[in-house]
Amino acid sequence: MELQGDHRIPADRERVFHALCDEAVLMRCISALEAMERRSDVEYAARVRLSVGPLKARFEGRVEVEPVDPPGFYVLNGEGTGLLGFAKGVVEIRLADLSGHTLLSYRLTAEIGGRVGQMAAKLMQAKAQTHIDRFFERFTEAMAG
């Protein structure tokens, strides 16, 4: 599965970058995130709960932040496992200044396997897009406030 998009965030690039690395902000903004704990400057432990059609799945895993050119470009690598399968993915995030705001561009590549992965690909992609849209609504509100 691959998703990408751009969002204008009402805050400067440095503030957006730091908010994206703040587990308290992420807990408020990512609807499927049940728990998140910083393990180091670049690694987090996370627990996610997803509902896809009739299936409810919980994944426990880790997310690693690879700062390629902070605060302008970094990569998130994540993987998790649960009773109904596994998920792993990479998100490339670019932040650009835009007239006092920040343009956040992302490209997500993900693989989901097991029973959850057997669900129709369109359903999985639509569900992922819904979570991404919710995140950006909440994150934009957090940055505007």
Q: What is the DSSP letter of 30?
A: -
Domain of 36? 2-144
Q: How far is CA 92 from the centre of its chain?
A: 10
pLDDT tens, position by position, for the chain (145 residues)? Answer: 899 999 999 999 999 999 988 889 999 999 889 999 999 989 999 999 887 777 777 899 999 998 888 889 989 999 999 887 888 999 999 999 999 999 999 999 988 888 766 665 567 778 788 989 999 999 999 998 7
**What pLDDT is stored for residue 10 in this prediction?**
96
Q: How many domains does the chain have?
A: 1
Give CA separation, 43 vs 5, 78, 109, 121, 127, in Å. Answer: 24, 10, 19, 29, 26
What residues contact residue 139 under an 8 Å CB cut-off, 6+ apart? 9, 19, 25, 29
Give me the helix-helix angle, 121-144 and 13-20, nearest 10°.
120
**What pLDDT is stored for residue 119 in this prediction?**
62
**What pLDDT is stored for residue 15 in this prediction?**
93
**What pLDDT is stored for residue 121 in this prediction?**
57
Beta strand 55-69 with 73-82: parallel, antiparallel or unpaired? antiparallel
**What pLDDT is stored for residue 113 in this prediction?**
81
Q: What is the DSSP letter of 139?
A: H
Tens-digit pLDDT profile for residues 87-112: 899 999 999 999 999 999 999 998 88
Give the CATH number of the domain where residue 111 resides: 3.30.530.20
- 22 in helix, strand or coil? coil
Give the pTM.
0.82
Tokens of 136: 């950006």
